[in-house]
């Protein structure tokens, strides 16, 4: 298939043929028809396009699982925008609203317009160029319209490194090519490049619903929610009136109201917005520096490229955090695409270990493959040094009672654990599993595990490979704990 077109798009194309025949010279029309035949052959709907993966909610360990310090006093409740809880789903997960949108539609429509520009060019040359790019070779000697068509015609998943480079070099002021690049980089797992492409496409075509939508997907985690709100508004008025998109916009409006008047700063890609009730600027700068350092560390530990940007919000209380994220009540910090923390006036604010824990999630979710929750949480707990007395006490319980949570139950969100006790055990066992890997595989074990998950291996396979065992289960984990920590 050379170029995916929608049926309505193909119909528009046919009416274009009639117009062209009426007004154009025979030679131009014939060239156009050649291009059209090459382009619409399959008459298929645009392929399903991978949408930017939505980061699963990652929640910090419950206070008693990590910190040995006494829990700080809970601040008094404060009034919130009355509608804030309307957007929370019953299971406590945050709204994930990107489900049925394909930027491919926009790209295909733009491609139809391009075909007109091609009417005086040879479509054979473009076909040859597409084939060359698909095979990973460069295509030279094309005019800009030919190059654009050749690049638009490739499936996102079939882009070689050189074709992706060509696409980036050709995109220039063309929103369709930036949208295509967005799809391509998502398919290649390049979050930062996808983010950049989505932002450029929107800047070039701010009134088009598709670029507005992909921009909002990225910008909703920016320090200022206004641009994302405006983009979702464009989508709702010019695109589809999807209820989920309306809810997402309303949730961002709650966030805007909560952080009205907050100061913000940016250093080395880390942006911080904070409530003056709990922090001054020098503290905010300190926080930005610790997040930067933790990001560098996390990138090294996991063998992943350091994410170029991260937003950090410091809320004056738990209620505000709940209002913008809808997480369960024991959470004191969240990474949901942005790092959201509760500050405490006077105290070390927010807790340094919590910051490191959540920053590890932020780095790994942006730069790494999808990973089981136990690996994420266990690594974050170990990375943040949260294996103090409460965690060690749970390890002793596991040894004494010979109990463990089945590994498969730790693959999905820990939000499913009802009480603080169950969640605490899940975090403690996950941390033990990561320690076990590092104990057996050395310092590089974590990065090797991330790479193996990236190649599609499952948790059992990765554990077995790193531990050098044929089979691993909870019993073997408890034996290791007993030998290490009797």
Shortest Cβ 377–Zn ion spacing (Å): 5
- Nearest Cα residue to 33 out of 13, 57, 9: 13
Shortest Cβ 466–Zn ion spacing (Å): 21
Q: What are phi and psi of 251, to 5 degrees?
A: -65, -40
Would you say 351 or 377 has its CB closer to Zn ion?
A: 377
Would you say 177 or 338 has its CB closer to Zn ion?
A: 338
User: What distance in Å separates the CA atoms of residue 422 and residue 414, rounded to the nearest whole number?
Assistant: 9
Would you say 58 or 250 has its CB closer to Zn ion?
A: 58
Shortest Cβ 143–Zn ion spacing (Å): 52
Shortest Cβ 60–Zn ion spacing (Å): 5
User: What distance in Å separates the CA atoms of residue 235 and residue 472, rounded to the nearest whole number?
Assistant: 49
371's CB contacts (< 8 A; 6+ apart) are 364, 450, 453
Shortest Cβ 404–Zn ion spacing (Å): 20
User: What distance in Å separates the CA atoms of residue 77 and residue 71, rounded to the nearest whole number?
Assistant: 17
Would you say 58 or 298 has its CB closer to Zn ion?
A: 58
Q: How deeply is 240 buried, as exposed, middle or buried, from its count of CB atoms within 10 A (0-12, 13-18, 19+)?
A: exposed
Shortest Cβ 313–Zn ion spacing (Å): 17
Shortest Cβ 423–Zn ion spacing (Å): 10
Q: 152 near 4, Cβ under 8 Å?
A: no
Please give, one letter per residue, the 3-state secondary structure of 319-378. HHHHHHHCCCCCCCEEECCCEEEECCCCCCCCCHHHHHHHHHHHHHHHHCCCCCHHHHHH
Tokens for 50? Answer: 């991978």
Would you say 119 or 429 has its CB closer to Zn ion?
A: 429
Would you say 58 or 294 has its CB closer to Zn ion?
A: 58
Would you say 341 or 399 has its CB closer to Zn ion?
A: 341
Shortest Cβ 248–Zn ion spacing (Å): 24
Q: 273 near 312, Cβ under 8 Å?
A: yes
Shortest Cβ 381–Zn ion spacing (Å): 7
User: What distance in Å separates the CA atoms of residue 344 and residue 314, rounded to the nearest whole number?
Assistant: 9
User: What distance in Å separates the CA atoms of residue 99 and residue 104, rounded to the nearest whole number?
Assistant: 14
- Report the SS3 class of residue 292: helix
Would you say 259 or 359 has its CB closer to Zn ion?
A: 359
Would you say 156 or 350 has its CB closer to Zn ion?
A: 350
295's CB contacts (< 8 A; 6+ apart) are 270, 306, 307, 310, 359, 362, 363
Footprint of Zn ion (CB under 5 A)? 58, 377, 380
Q: 153 near 39, Cβ under 8 Å?
A: yes
Shortest Cβ 63–Zn ion spacing (Å): 13
Would you say 58 or 371 has its CB closer to Zn ion?
A: 58
Residue whose C-beta lies closest to Zn ion: 380
- Nearest Cα residue to 317 out of 96, 75, 118: 75
Q: 391 near 397, Cβ under 8 Å?
A: no
């Amino acid at each position: 298939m050379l170029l995916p077109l929608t049926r309505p798009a193909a119909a528009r194309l046919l009416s274009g043929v009639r117009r062209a025949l009426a007004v154009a010279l025979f030679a131009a029309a014939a060239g156009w028809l050649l291009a059209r035949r090459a382009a619409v052959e399959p008459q298929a709907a645009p392929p399903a396009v991978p949408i930017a993966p939505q980061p699963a909610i990652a929640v910090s360990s419950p206070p008693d699982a990590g910190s040995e310090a006494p829990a700080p006093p809970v601040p008094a409740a404060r009034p919130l925008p009355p509608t804030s809880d309307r957007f929370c789903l019953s299971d406590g997960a945050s709204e994930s609203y990107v489900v049925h949108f394909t930027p491919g539609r926009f790209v295909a429509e733009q491609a139809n317009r391009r075909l007109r520009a091609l009417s005086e060019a040879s479509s054979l040359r473009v076909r040859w160029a597409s084939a060359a790019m698909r095979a990973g070779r460069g295509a030279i000697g094309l005019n800009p319209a030919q190059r654009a068509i050749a690049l638009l015609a490739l499936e996102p998943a079939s882009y070689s490194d050189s074709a992706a480079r060509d696409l980036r070099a050709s995109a220039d002021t063309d929103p369709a090519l930036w949208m295509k690049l967005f799809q391509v980089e998502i398919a290649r797992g390049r979050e930062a490049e996808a983010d950049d492409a989505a932002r450029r496409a929107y800047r070039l075509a701010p009134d088009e619903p598709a670029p507005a939508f992909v921009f909002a997907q990225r910008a909703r985690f920016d320090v200022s929610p206004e641009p994302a709100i405006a983009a979702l508004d464009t989508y709702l008025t010019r695109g589809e009136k999807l209820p989920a998109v309306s809810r997402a916009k309303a949730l961002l409006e709650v966030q805007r109201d909560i952080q009205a008047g907050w100061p913000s700063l940016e250093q080395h890609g880390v942006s911080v917005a904070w409530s003056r009730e709990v922090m001054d600027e020098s503290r905010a700068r300190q926080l930005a520096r610790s997040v930067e350092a933790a990001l560098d560390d996390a990138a090294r530990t996991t063998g992943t490229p350091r994410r170029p940007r991260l937003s950090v919000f410091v809320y004056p209380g738990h209620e505000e955090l709940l209002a913008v994220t809808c997480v369960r009540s024991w959470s004191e910090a969240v990474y949901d695409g942005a790092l959201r923390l509760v500050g405490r006036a006077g105290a070390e604010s927010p807790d340094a270990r919590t910051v490191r824990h959540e920053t590890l999630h932020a780095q790994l979710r942006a730069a790494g493959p999808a990973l089981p929750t136990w690996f994420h949480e266990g690594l974050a707990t170990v990375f943040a040094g949260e294996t103090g007395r409460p965690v060690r006490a749970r390890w002793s319980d596991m040894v004494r009672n010979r109990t463990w949570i089945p590994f498969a139950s730790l693959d999905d969100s820990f939000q499913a654990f009802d009480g603080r006790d169950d969640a605490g055990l899940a975090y403690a066992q996950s941390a033990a599993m990561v320690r076990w890997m590092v104990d057996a595989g050395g310092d590089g074990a974590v990065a090797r595990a991330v790479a193996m998950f990236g190649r599609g291996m499952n948790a059992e396979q990765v554990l077995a490979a790193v531990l050098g065992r044929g089979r691993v289960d909870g019993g073997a984990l408890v034996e290791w704990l007993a030998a290490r920590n009797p």
